[in-house]
Amino acid sequence: MKIIAGADIGNSTTEVCLGAISDNGFRFLSEAMVATTGMKGTPANAKGVRVALEQAAEAAGIQVQDIAVIRINEAAPVMGDTAMETITETVITQSAMIGHNPDTPAGAGLAVGITAGLETLQEKPKGEAYLVLIPQSLSYEEAAERINEAAASGYTIAGGIVQRDEGVLIYNRLKEKIPFVDEVKAIEKIPEGKKGAVEVAPDGQTIQTLSNPYGMASIFHLNADETKSVVPIAKSLMGNRSAVVIRTGGEVRAKTIQAGALTAVGERGTVQIPVDAGAEAIMARLSEVAPLISVTGEEGTHVGAMIDGMIRSMKDVSEGISQHSIAVKDVLAVDTTIPVSVEGALAGEVSMENAVGIAAMVKTDALPMRNVAKALSSETGIYVEVAGVEAVMASLGALTTPGAGLPLVILDMGGGSTDAALLSPEGVVKSIHLAGAGQLATLLIDSELGLENRGLAERIKTHPLAKVESMFHIRTEDGLVRFFEEPLPPKLYGKVIILDEDGYLPVESRAGMEKIIAVRRDIKKKIFVTNAVRALREITENLREIKSIVMVGGCALDFEIPAMILQELSRYGITAGRGNIRGACGPRNAVATGLVMSYADGGTRHG
């Protein structure tokens, strides 16, 4: 008996399939899946493959040393990043300082006055309206008492700016109610004696005056040029429940770094595409010269730095490969927005700026999987060969889905790439390997929601959401209400939560549930639906000739993506469904299974 292992090394996961060839024929033994170790296509992958082999061998009741041949897939690494269309970094010098916290303001209305420390207010004249600054050294009881005393002695207190999260506690103890903005962490940066404004919106609404440059112009008596300079400040405050703006003189400076342009060299010519034209224009121009030979970015710009960084990363982890032999062979561009910090702000303010998310497929003259095979052979002591193109192997594995037959079209959606293959009754395969899949979706969800937590973004991508409306019930994103006999943890009250199989995880984001859902679905459509159609057009001239598609890969398990793709492809009369590899693995393990089958069958012709 000869035991063969197929190992599919992906950007996110590594899957293994074991099969045995004997005098009685061929049979599958077991499978396993682990997280990929290191960047795909680098020697670090060997450790993950070894762990998966050990798990699969244990499940099959054999030793790893019993394996005669290990076959790994031939594929290029795919990296994703974002290039800003225009990054405007608003530097607050001596003009305006802003701070806001939309979660816990107190009161409602617009208050205009002169900034003054509450501890030294008695030293100020009584003829002005004041915005009192309340540092964390003052307790909320003491702050409320001092404000009440000052008002009783003739001071006009228009509003308050609080360093701690105590605006409501102070507000509730006042005899004359005024609006407060709290959690202004850098309150010490606010100079005294300067004109400022505090705005708190009524419940269920957002601020109207300080998020409007002309509203600020009215308060601070700005001319036309000065009004233009406060537009970035107004943008950063849009959609918030509260805000504070302090006028301190001088100018607001805005530093802009251009996104730059992509230069694409293809078999049909060369084009230069400005990134600020947007994703749709980028993809249209790329298709004019496809198939692509290389893509580079303009030096000294965001996209240039991004592309150069990808190539350097590939070189750093690819032993014996020169940087000149590494090139970007495919690009997927997606329009998005990302939060950009407003430098000089008081409470972490951000301005949402247009961006283009880019996934790039990086290939080398000598495919790096050869180095992986060498490392894996050294790690295990077993003969390792690079056996075939991912899409070709996936199509063979997909054939084991009950009900599947020739001709077969597969759509393989993984962590880094989207592959499509058409397997004819004669055994000839036409395939395409494109950049962009699950990892890019996670990256863009993380960026667009400003999470700075890739793990949380991944779970938002793969799980539905709910809102905790009381300690005993939640409302899921599809509108259903779920009740509980035992109270939920208090920390979840009022939060958006992820309905994870391991429990309820709160989403720490200023975005509401509807916004999070909209971002998640929009990003999935832009990546997976776009790439599905793009890949299928590469393998057939007429989509209407395709009758059915088997979807495989980790993203085929997603609770939304298959339905989105099916809805789009139904326009062409195409039916698409999840594969069930070997009738047992669902849409996973297609490539690993195909690698084993290909060996047992003596290989498959492909083109």
Q: pLDDT, tens digit, for every residue of 277-286? A: 888 999 999 9
| CA distances (Å), origin 151, targets 155, 168, 560 | 5, 18, 58
- 298 phi-psi bin (left φ>0, alpha ψ -120 to 50, beta other): beta
pLDDT digits (tens, 9 = 90+) for 102-155: 567 889 999 999 999 999 999 999 989 999 999 999 999 999 999 999 999 999
Query: Does the pLDDT of residue 65 top 60, yes or no?
Result: yes
List, as one string, the DSSP characters of 303-323: HHHHHHHHHHHHHHHSTT--G
In the chain, the N- to C-terminal Cα span, in Å, equals 32
- In CATH, what number does 80-87+257-364 get? 3.90.470.30
Q: Which two tokens stand for residue 25?
A: 């024929």
Inform me whether the pLDDT recorded for 459 exceeds 80: yes
Class of domain 94-250: alpha beta
Fold exhibited by the domain 405-578: Nucleotidyltransferase; domain 5 (3.30.420)
From CA 414, how far away is CA 441, in angstroms rounded? 11
Residue 75 predicted with pLDDT over 80: no
Asked if residues 355 and 84 have their Cβ atoms less than 8 Å apart, the reply is yes
pLDDT for res 307: 85
Tokens (6 digits) for 548 = 């059915």
Q: What pTM value is reported for the model?
A: 0.76
Tokens of 38: 């290191």
Q: Are 453 and 446 in contact (CB under 8 A)?
A: yes
Is a pLDDT exceeding 80 seen at residue 354? Answer: no
How many angstroms separate the CA atoms of 121 and 192, rounded?
Answer: 10
CA angle 386, 390, 392 (to 5 degrees): 105
Q: Which of residues 533 and 368 earns the better pLDDT score?
A: 533
Q: Where in the chain is the domain with CATH 3.50.30.70?
A: 94-250
Q: What is the mean pLDDT of residues 240-264?
A: 73
Confidence of residue 375 (pLDDT cuts 50, 70, 90): very high
Per-residue model confidence as pLDDT tens digits over 496-543:
999 988 789 999 887 889 999 999 999 999 999 999 999 999 999 889
Listed in order, the ranges of the chain carrying CATH 3.90.470.30 are 80-87+257-364
- Decide yes or no: CATH 3.40.1260.10 for domain 1-76+367-397+588-607: no
* CA–CA dist 303, 333 (Å, integer): 12
In angstroms, the CA 305 to CA 296 distance is 10
> Which helix (H) or strand (E) segment is 215 a member of?
helix 213-220
| CATH 3.30.420.40-classified regions of the chain | 1-76+367-397+588-607, 405-578
